[in-house]
Amino acid sequence: MQEIELYDRNVSLELLGASGTNRKFDDNDAAATNDAEAIRSWLSHHSRSAETLRKYTREARRLVIWSVGFQRKPISSLKLSDMQEYREFLRNPPEALVGARSRIGGREWKPFVGERTEKSVGHAMVILMGMFTYLQEIGYIKRSPMIQLRNRLYDEVEGDEENFRYLDAEQIAAIKTVLDRDDEPFVHRTRFAIALMLMIGMRIHEVTSATMGGFKVRSDGTCWLRFLRKGRKWYTAPVPYAMVLELKRYRLLNGLEAMPVPGEQTPMLLTFKGQSDGLGDRELRNDFYEVCARASELIADEDKRATLLEASPHWLRHAFAKRALRRATNKEQAHQVQRLMSHRSLETTLLYDDTPDKEQHDFVKDTDWE
């Protein structure tokens, strides 16, 4: 895809965020010195999918036009109130900015095409929320100005939403299709990481900090994984047979023996530089986002596509909990899920329960005075 100018060439350093009020002026992970470079860094992590890059570039360009051109304010100075005002702008943009569909950056290009719907406005805001989250994660801004809009935006895009977000069966199937289809080193690695989070319920930092030597096959043939959980506490998790197959697959692809030996210090996720290098949280997040972007192109439903584009690796842990609870048929099994999640109380675990309304109704429909 041809590179698109996000800013006019004569924009001032001030409007590029030279002294943005939300800037962190320490070194950031992207080595960005202004807003344009920071946004370019965000876009670069979505460059493997041309369609995703086009959509993200379009939304970034629209925000720049409004923030710099209309508000005379750099992106790195935007606050919650600004983003609320921008949402109103998206709902009813000036006629001068609306035109026929054409190539982004071309002479006839206009930021908006046709009428704006509430869903399209919501999807645009969700994409920008991902951008600001990235800018915060890399240390470029202090705080995302959209953090307080998060739940409201998801409600607008998807309807009523539980506190814990997760990927549904269709979205996971789309991800699995990409993982099966695309024969690339980063995809093989991401497949293994996704399996760990979806089948064992691991958090992203638990995956990146673990070693292969944590896997152990006991005398009864069952496999277990010992790793550090939240709070630096050791935990031993049961490993499903499907996860053992993923472990063997990943190791063989990297020239290792099918199963690790006790105490092996090989990082759980390998970089492409060599087996002694482990992958960091940020790199894994970026790989996950790219896989989700590719998977979104396989889903017809517009709402589910938008959700997948904003998915976080932590949603896989939520999906693990929800699926485990659906299999639990009594309180003891619910307590097993609690232990698998390392929750202090069963009440926390049951927050993940998403039993469909009809099943809940069927459960109580015969309740009477006795």
- What pLDDT does residue 3 have? 45
CB 14 within 8 A of CB 74: yes
The pair of three-digit structure tokens given for residue 329, joined into one six-digit string: 């048929």
- Residues 145/67, Cβ–Cβ less than 8 Å: no
- As a whole number of angstroms, the distance between CA 227 and CA 213 comes to 10
The domains of the chain, with CATH numbers, are 35-158 (no CATH), 169-309 (1.10.443.10)
Residue 235: helix, strand or coil by DSSP?
strand
Tell me the DSSP string of 122-169: HHHHHHHHHHHHHHHHTTSBSS-TTGGGHHHHHHHHHSS--SS----H
In what helix (H) or strand (E) does residue 216 lie, and over which residues does it extend? Answer: strand 215-217
Structure tokens of 331? 């309180």
For residues 232 and 225, give the distance between their C-alpha atoms in angstroms, rounded to a whole number.
Answer: 15
- What DSSP element (H or E) covers 344? none
Supply the angle between the helices 50-64 and 35-44 in degrees, to the nearest 10: 160
- Using only the alpha carbons of the chain, give its radius of gyration: 23
Instruction: Report the pLDDT value the prediction gives residue 36, as an integer from 0 to 100.
Output: 94
Whole-number Å distance between alpha carbons of 269 and 276 = 10
The two structure tokens encoding residue 178: 């990409």
Give the pLDDT score at 178: 95
How many C-alpha atoms does 66 have within 13 Å on its Cβ side? 22
- The residues with which 267 forms a beta bridge, in sequence order, are 211
* Residues sharing a CB contact under 8 Å with residue 135, sequence separation 6 or more, in sequence order: 38, 39, 42, 76, 141, 144
- The whole-number pLDDT of residue 105 equals 57
Instruction: Compute the distance between CA of residue 315 and CA of residue 121 in angstroms, rounded to an integer.
Output: 24
Please return the burial class of 71, using the count of CB atoms within 10 Å of its CB with bins 0-12, 13-18 and 19+.
middle
Q: Letter for the amino acid at 164?
A: F
The predicted structure's pLDDT at residue 360: 42
**Nearest CA to 166 among 294, 351, 361, 359?**
351
DSSP 229: E
Where the chain has pLDDT below 70, the residues are 1-4, 48-49, 100-108, 114, 148-165, 231, 272-277, 323-370
What is the bridge-based pairing of β-strands 215-217 and 233-239? Answer: unpaired
- According to the model, what pLDDT value does residue 229 have? 79
Return the residue matching tokens 């979806």.
198
